[in-house]
Chain A
Amino acid sequence: MSTLAPARLGPRDVLGVGAAGLRTRPLRAFLSALGIAIGIAAMIAVVGISSSSRAGLDRTLAALGTNLLTVTPGQSFTGASATLPAEAVGMIARIGPVTTVAATGTVADAKVYRNDRIPEAESGGISVLAAHLGLPGTVAAALADGTWLNEATEGYPAVVLGSSTARLLGVTAASPDVQVWLGGRWFTVVGVLSPVALAPELDSAALVGWAAAESYLDFDGHPTTVYTRAEDDAVTSVRELLAATANPENPNEVKVSRPSDALVARQATDQAFTALLLGLGGVALLVGGVGVANTMVISVLERRSEIGLRRSLGATRGQIRLQFLAESLLLSAMGGVGGVVIGIAVTVAYAGTQDWPAVVPVWASAGGVAATLLIGAIAGLYPAIRAARLSPTEALTAA
């Protein structure tokens, strides 16, 4: 007697029967795959955009360096604002691992106007700072136009404008003909800075030479911000020394900060928002999964006669179950892969507008597809079991 063992379906045949149901109803398959795709795309885009922004920041920090430290006067015990001693810059420069030092000093009472007819009250919040010649090199500032101060111009009424200052004053380019009304006399604009990422306070400043400030603007010579770079591996130890070095008599009146930390901290607050968006994407994915389950339940109901036919052709219950599971998995895998592609496209487009490198972590794409397969398996399980439970006669007479 021949042994009656059911033949196994090969992977290709499983795929074939799984795809058969999708091929006959392409629009429905597309729409339910779209539900999954939207959820996955949302999650991939959120992860991708946040990773890209992180990569953009890393690139910025790599270009700017994370070894910049700033020293500013804090408050004295009595609550009055403190000042840094005039010798602070020289003393900081003598710390071994310090590579460069430059300072700015606020010129009290000096205001900048486009010309001498502007009412005095409309100063626009622009601060006038005396600057050392080494400032751009230390804070990684670039010039949008013109030149930085040099040994010749630092003693003359010449000014370099920060980027927002230039915009406020309506100065687009530096030239010997462009002058602004600064501290009661004309200063020639010799340069305009690009925005300075590590020292944004310079953007809203007008920078004049240290000597010019002292001779034309009654500058007291006290630095208000000292910018210093140290060797990368010594930043922490230099940071600990700075307060005592800058003001040995009152080290508690000195504030030391690391501007790159502030950029990283701002990024960290974005992370919380990312988690929220990721949660929303997860909800969309869940809704997509419910859509797939719904499609599969309807598919089983509609295809009772096909199930009966396949049983009459010799399909076992297990093979019917496998067919509908394969269909559900295919459906959600299509959605998952589509979603990953859409998510990557969104990330690339957005990163392009922000000038970030587009980064989509591999774990996000792989995890997204894995999640859809899991959802497909869960969504398809119950309909598949129901399909397999149909008795062949019942299924055939349903037609």
Chain B
Amino acid sequence: MSTSGGVVELSEVAKSYPGVAALNGVTLAIGYGELVGIVGPSGSGKSTMLNLIGTLDRPSSGTVRVDGHDVASLSDRRLSALRARRIGFVFQSFHLAPGLSAVDNVADGLLYAGVPLRERRRRAVSTLERVGLGDRLRHVPHELSGGERQRVAIARAVVGEPALLLADEPTGNLDTASGAAVMALLRELNEGGTTIVVITHDLDIAGSLPRQVSLRDGVMV
């Protein structure tokens, strides 16, 4: 795979938007199997960091390597394939398809990885059982609580057994109890071997994680 073996390797990464330097000279390595919190107040550049690590965006300078691939050297098609097979996303606002059942929402996590429909459904069911929603398979999102929706979204992110799970404020829209349950699920998945990066502004959540990376004004502190 890669020389140093990290799932994420940022080297002197900078990202600037017109008039703003969102990230400035960040160097960071995250190894396989880690559970890392990236923490910082809003405007600190953590969303930019998520986009770069998730290969949704490219750096202005520096190199980003994900699962051994130099993002700069990959075409948009290859980046898409990297996301389809090796990266899972969890968003603050879930982003579930409103008319689809939990199973079909989770199965869509495998749609762009070339998995046949029956196999997608089969793996979606087993993943939903793994996140504790075995009794909610046929429910559509509006029939589920916020915590349950986020667990469906997590199931969609991990159904393809990605090398890296990126969670952007996964508890941001949830009450404390649901948020704690979601964090417990993430820890459990990490114990099962999934590398997880949680982006949050919540210091308590970050503090509960084995490793924290603090960002402020686009630089690590």
Chain A residues in the interface with B (C-beta under 8 A) = 1-2, 4-10, 12-13, 17, 20, 23-24, 305-306, 308-319, 391-393, 396, 399
Contact = CB atoms under 8 A, between A and B. Distances in A.
B51 A313 contact: no
Contact of A4 (B54, B82, B114, B116): B82
Given A10-B116, A23-B99, A313-B112, 12 more contacts: A4-B78, A6-B80, A6-B84, A6-B112, A7-B112, A9-B111, A13-B117, A306-B97, A314-B83, A315-B84, A319-B80, A392-B51
B57 A392 contact: yes
B34 interface: no
Question: Interface residue tally of chain B, by bracket?
Answer: 35 or more
Contacts of B1: 1
A312 B117 contact: no
Given A7-B112, A7-B113, A24 B77 contact: no
Nearest to B93: A399
B187 interface: no
A15 to B, nearest CB: 11
A20 B104 CA distance: 11
Contacts of B33: none
Given A23-B99, A312-B83, A314-B80, A393 B93 contact: no
27 contacts: A4-B81, A4-B82, A6-B81, A6-B84, A7-B112, A7-B113, A9-B111, A13-B117, A17-B111, A20-B99, A20-B100, A24-B97, A306-B97, A308-B95, A309-B89, A310-B112, A313-B84, A313-B89, A313-B111, A313-B112, A314-B112, A315-B84, A316-B81, A318-B77, A393-B56, A399-B93, A399-B95
Contact of B81 (A5, A10, A308): A5
Given A1-B68, A396-B91, A314 B56 contact: no
Contacts, number: 100
Tell me the interface secondary structure of chain A in the complex.
helix
B109 interface: yes
Interface string B72-99: 0010111011111101010101010111
Contact of A6 (B56, B77, B116): B77
Contacts of B82: 4, 314
Interface string B102-136: 00000011011111110000000000000000000
Contacts of A9: 111-112
A312 B76 contact: no
A387 to B, nearest CB: 14
Contact of A20 (B77, B91, B97): B97
A310 B69 CA distance: 21
Nearest to A25: B99
A356 B135 CA distance: 61
B37 to A, nearest CB: 20
A316 B112 CA distance: 8
Contacts of A393: 51, 56-57
A4 B116 CA distance: 18
A306 B94 CA distance: 11
Nearest to B82: A4
> Closest 4 CB pairs between A and B?
A314-B84, A7-B114, A314-B112, A392-B56
Contact of B99 (A7, A24, A313, A317): A24
B99 A315 contact: no
Nearest to A399: B93
Nearest to A26: B99
Nearest to B156: A313
Contacts of B87: 312
A120 B17 CA distance: 103
Contacts of A396: 56, 91, 95
Given A5-B78, A13-B111, A313-B83, A24 B98 contact: yes
A311 B69 CA distance: 18
Contact of B80 (A12, A23, A316): A316
Contacts of B76: 316-317
B80 A311 contact: yes
Contacts of A23: 99
Interface in B154-188: 156
Centre residue among A9, A312, A391 by max chain B CB count within 10 A: A312
Contacts of A308: 95
A312 B54 contact: yes
A2 B67 CA distance: 10
Interface string B44-68: 0000000100101100000000001
Contacts of A17: 111
Nearest to A305: B95
A101 B93 CA distance: 92
Contacts of A13: 111, 117
Contact of A314 (B57, B91, B99, B113): B113
A369 B10 CA distance: 54
A314 B80 CA distance: 4
Contacts of B85: 2, 4, 314
Contacts of A305: 95
Given A24-B99, A306-B97, A316 B113 contact: no
